Structure 1
Amino acid sequence: MCELFAVNSATPVRVNRYLTEFFGHSHANPHGWGVSLRTPAEGMVGDDGVTLWREPLPAYESALAARLLSRPMEARHLQAHIRKATCGTLDVANCHPFLATDVTGRSWTLIHNGILFNEGLLWGYEQREVGQTDSERILLFLIDVIDEAAARQGGRLDFIDTFDVLAGAIVQLGNHNKLNLILDDGAYTYVHTNTSEVTLYAREVTAEEAGIGNTGKVGSDTRDTASASGIIFSTLPLGGENERNAWRPVPRHRLIAYKDGRLRRTSTPHGNVFCEAILDAHRALGDVWDPTAATAAPVTATTAA
């Protein structure tokens, strides 16, 4: 399976040691890697607020990934992904995170760990996507859902409206599909997992761990440095035995939204649970793509800044 990593925090969190360990898992997820990083400035719209690095090769082999982690990397909003392909060629266009902009000007990034067998809602999006993945089609579909809702609301959506339309769309997409995904719009991080077993964890980060020293100053707030300042998501717990107990399973079968490291909204749980037996049955029928049969594309990387 692919693996996901994401940060949502009120103050920048240094992620080097987590990403170093995370990228080490690319021996088992060798078909590409990517990182999206939001600029610290608030209120930016369009692609200008997001920088993407992506390559269709194992992260442990990547000179670019090593170079990124050779200097301090701090983020309030960050996503990272290592790919184990189930569809699409080994090309940079098929590497996560994916980026799109809605009609209101918000930039959205998406990372996905899963596979879709029921793509009825996504028919036609293969004509619009740049690559060939169901993950990119998910983002395009969700952007259309947001745009349609915004049009009904006179061109703008507040957080509650955005959350509700996303929750409704994701419930429908989860039918017979594995839909572990993390969406980010630069203010909120939206998280969903619908597997029968735990496949996504979260860990709170205190202000002190985030590196703000002893001031307790987080944006316009004054907090004790021992209080939670941010949250980190990962497919597998990171940080070794010393941090293992800090990680908790992400609540499943519902959409969850965070802002400034704090839980803001949770949807009603749904019944679209994906069991690994479904994936095993499709593998037995030959319905799951074999990446070894594809020819790797030339190695390239893209940066949108």
Structure 2
Amino acid sequence: MRKKIKIAQNGHNTIYEERRKSMCELFGVDSAKKIPLNELLREFFSDGTEHPHGWGMAFFYGNAVSLEKQPQSAVTSNYLKQRLRAKIETDKMIAHIRLATRGTMDYENTHPFVMRDNYDRTWTLAHNGTIFESEVLEPFVATEDGDTDSERILCYIIDQVNAAQDEKGAALTKEERFALLNRIILEIAPENKLNLLIFDGEIMYIHTNYKDSLYRCRKDKAIVMATRPLDRDKWKNVPMNQLLAYEDGKLIYTGTKHEYEFVDSEEKMHMLFLDFANL
């Protein structure tokens, strides 16, 4: 296995290496032009040994999505090995490797998730974290395709977008979509671990409320986001507790700063252990 990239803070490594073993991982790109991604993706997917429950990639072409995913380890997937040998250049994408805490090891539970709203806009979501408490997500247990808390987040987003568009009688503008997602983040962030990458065909949204678990790196006209630094370039922590929105590699909106940082506790770790034991 290739050596993991680490960054130093005041002469000490971050706590990433330990946290990496207990959570999914995210990767995203938003750029004004296509960039080569093979090396970054190989490094990202090399963590598949310790994240064996699924891998996925979503490539975006305007409102169209090309979705590739399997409910197996990235390092054992012959399809992914062949895919990474071919040239991969794109301007917008989301990737994910899964370490299941909730939901069985099935295709329907493998990230990213894709849904369309009632004005035919395509939304794609990948999540790293766990929903411990959220009454607004509970109704979607009965309607989601799989059985993950992550898919229910996207179900709720689509539900709220549809309701807002029905009330308006027209599709939401990008400013209105950002405001709606900002409200949803404030609703579901309390008591929950909420690292998210979301793309709506136009805007890439990113959010974290878990310290040292999501980074970003400027590469020419691109912004690259990942759970850990993937090369020797200058990676910085994504700002905590605030929804960000990028378009063509540029930060266009920043959301409301909230105080719902997720902090690990013995009680929540016990809940995760019980869920994992039942997979």
Q: 2:50 aligns with which of 19, 22, 28?
A: 28
Q: 1:275–1:188: structure 2 CA closer, same or farther, 3 Å change rule?
A: same
Match of 2:230 in 1: 238
Q: Does 1:281 align with 2:267?
A: yes
Distance in 2 separating the partners of 1:285 and 1:185: 32
- Show the counterpart of 1:152: 167
Matching residue within 78, 101, 109 for 2:124? 109
- Matched with 2:194 is 179
Cα distance, 1:288 vs structure 2: 4.2
Residue 285 of structure 1, CA deviation: 5.1
> In the aligned structure 2, how far is the partner of 1:288 from the partner of 1:18?
34
Q: Which amino acid aligns with 2:217?
A: R
Equivalent residue letter for 1:52: L
Out of 193, 206, 218, the position equivalent to 1:191 is: 206
Cα deviations by residue, 1:9-67 (Å, 9 ceiling, x for unpaired): 0101111101101010111211110000112xx4x4xxxx1111111111011011111
Is the 8 Å Cα contact of residues 244 and 254 (structure 2) preserved in structure 1?
Answer: yes
Q: Tell me the TM-score normalised to structure 1 length.
A: 0.82
SS at match of 1:264: strand
> 1:86·1:288 contact (CA, 8 Å) conserved in 2?
no
Indicate if the aligned counterparts of 1:35 and 1:79 stay in contact, CA closer than 8 A. Answer: yes
The answer (yes or no) to whether the contact 2:58–2:94 under 8 Å persists in 1 is yes
The structure 2 residue matched to 1:203, chosen from 199, 204, 217, is 217
Q: Percent identity?
A: 37
Verify: 1:247 aligned to 2:235, yes or no.
Answer: yes
Tell me: CA distance 1:248–1:126, structure 2 relative to 1, closer, same or farther (3 Å). Answer: same
For residue 199 of structure 1, report the CA deviation from its aligned partner: 0.8
Query: Aligned-pair distance for 1:283?
Result: 2.7
List aligned pairs for 1:1-305, cutoff 5 A: 1-39=23-61, 42=62, 44=63, 49-195=64-210, 197-206=211-220, 229-239=221-231, 242-243=232-233, 246-277=234-265, 280-284=266-270, 288-290=274-276, 293-294=278-279
Q: Deviations over 1:278-300 (max 9, x none)?
A: xx322335664126x54xxxxxx
CA distance in structure 2 between the aligned counterparts of 1:96 and 1:235, rounded to whole angstroms: 15
2:101 touches 2:272 (CA, 8 Å); kept in 1?
A: no
2-structure distance, mates of 1:164, 1:135: 21
Q: Is the 8 A contact 1:145 1:166 kept in 2?
A: no
Q: Are the equivalent residues in 2 in contact too, given 1:32–1:95 (CA < 8 A)?
A: yes
Structure 1 residues 285 and 173, CA, compared in 2 at 3 Å: closer, same or farther?
A: closer
Secondary structure of the corresponding residue to residue 152 of structure 2: helix
In structure 2, runs of 5+ residues without a counterpart are 1-22
Change (3 A) 1:285 1:231: closer
Distance in 1 separating the partners of 2:185 and 2:268: 22
CA distance in 2, matches of 1:80, 1:286: 23
Q: 1:29 to 1:285 in 2, by over 3 A?
A: closer
RMSD: 1.3
Whole-Å Cα distance in 2 between the matches of residues 131 and 253 of structure 1? 28
**d(CA) in 2 for partners of 1:254 and 1:115?**
18
- What secondary structure sits across from 1:36 in the alignment? strand
Contact between 1:110 and 1:181, CA under 8 Å: does it hold in 2? yes
Looking at structure 1, the residues matched to 261 and 224 of structure 2 have their Cα atoms a distance apart, in angstroms, of 24
Asked if the contact 2:102–2:275 (Cα under 8 Å) also holds between the matched residues in 1, the reply is: yes
Whole-angstrom CA distance in 2 between matches of 1:274 and 1:64: 36
Per-residue deviation at 1:119? 2.4
